[in-house]
Amino acid sequence: MTGQIALVGAGLGDPELLTVKGLRKIKQADVIVYDRLINPAILNSCKVDCEKIYVGKKPNYHPVPQEKIEEIMIEKAQQGLNVVRLKSGDPYVFGRGGEEGASLKQAGISFEVIPGITSSIGGLAYAGIPITHRDLAADFHVYTGHLNNSEREIDWSTAAKVEGTLVFLMGMSGLKKITEQLIFHGKDKHTPAAIIQWASRKQQKTVVGTLETIFDKTSAAKLQPPSLIVIGEVVTRRKDLNFFEERPLYSISIAIPFTKKKKMTSRLTDLGAEIIELPPSDTRIYDQTIDFSQPHQIVFTDSLSVDVFIRAMKVQKIDWRKLADWQFISVGHHTGTILEKAGIRADFDFPDFEKYLEESEGQSKSLILGDSWMIGKLTEQGVIGTKLITHEEKITVEIPDLWQKADFMYFPNSKAARLFLSALAEEELVVVAQKKIIVMGQKTKAVFDDYQLSVIQTAEPSFDCVVEKIKEEMKR
């Protein structure tokens, strides 16, 4: 059976600008074929076993030819796999999606197109420039800035005469020619113009001038691709509509652990920070056979240990009534909550691991269930009793090195810090030592202390304190 292919537009770069349908297709994909400008955080939504194939291109550097990209998609689909071709912006706005769709059709492979927010509209919006405006521009025209194909030369005479907004994508190398040709063909040299670099990302920078001055201003500001060129009266609205570049955390990036709820990610993003999301961890469950022949004092160290215990009861056909003389201990408030949902109220509930260690001495009849790290810690501390590893959690995929360029790192809890640090090579730990790392609590700080890494601890464990600490450090 032949798989299906979705040509998905990833939008500008901010992962939250991805469409709901595009995200669903990414979550379902067996294979992701993705471009250079894709935010790596989007790939965190893939299945654990999803194959990720990078086919990124840079100006004048195409390591994977277009024909090979199409061959890869066709080959994977013929293997019965569902493929997502993940492209920046929109697949059909100078993205060669039309060529890819035609090749798939010719090969007899079913495909669909999921549009993305094109930078020609969304990128302008992030710079405070509306592509149309009731009083200033009733139409707009989008051109490719690649001017090296004489057979497809822009009709400069027509472009110079249009009244609306002109947008050029991928045109930084031809900026001088664009401005000169428009002026030569009659465009007023005083027409407002702007260049927007890396729209919606930390590196976003906007330079405003006129058709006559914009090349020199851009050169002085050292703007680099990817950048947008916009020409027209709508540029004058930037002074009133610029929102992104005025946010308090604009121009900084913060690396944070992956979370499904994205609460902290969203709040920091809304303040203007670019979030570099670390990859999610992978959990391997170990089903254990438990001795139910005699009563135990059983210790649950996390929610998954509760799940494994209940599963063992079902497999071994154990009735709850057989456990009437057992004693149940939970470590951590969340563990106790999960235990109660399973119909068990803990006899003892320790708020955290450290408190349990203080009071666990001499409990030789305890049956302790937990992950490999927790069981290892208990063994190191000399805690006696029967210990069963119920699961192992770690970051198993390669961590993109984008976090190394982050201005800050933030870890909300000790577990997230431990998973990240244990996944790094020694040379990467050297990089961590040079980063500004924000943590909210002493337990998280203790994880870094074990690695002899310094961190910045907030006064209180709250979001507001995290933001204030980041602002303080931004001023240094």
- Residues annotated as catalytic are 35, 57, 170
> Would you give the DSSP letter of residue 133?
B
> In 95-146, where does DSSP find H-type helix?
97-106, 119-126
> Would you give the DSSP letter of residue 449?
H
**What is the full DSSP assignment across 323-392?**
GTT-EEEEESHHHHHHHHHTT---SEEESSHHHHHHH-TT-TTEEEEEEHHHHHHHHHTT--SEEEEEEE
How far apart are alpha carbons 449 and 441 in whole angstroms? Answer: 12
Strand partners, 193: 209, 231
**CB-count burial class (<10 Å; 0-12, 13-18, 19+) for 343:** exposed
CA-based angle 421:53:51, to the nearest 5?
A: 70
Q: What is the dihedral of CA 461, 463, 468, 469, to 10 degrees?
A: 50
Q: Are the C-beta atoms of residues 106 and 139 closer than 8 Å to each other?
A: no
Nearby residues of 216 by Cβ (< 8 Å), 6 or more positions away: 209
How far apart are alpha carbons 161 and 185 in whole angstroms? Answer: 8
Quick one: residue 226, left, alpha or beta (phi over 0 = left, psi -120 to 50 = alpha)? Answer: beta
SS3 272: coil
Nearby residues of 442 by Cβ (< 8 Å), 6 or more positions away: 457
Q: Are the C-beta atoms of residues 368 and 375 closer than 8 Å to each other?
A: yes
How far apart are alpha carbons 58 and 226 in whole angstroms? Answer: 10
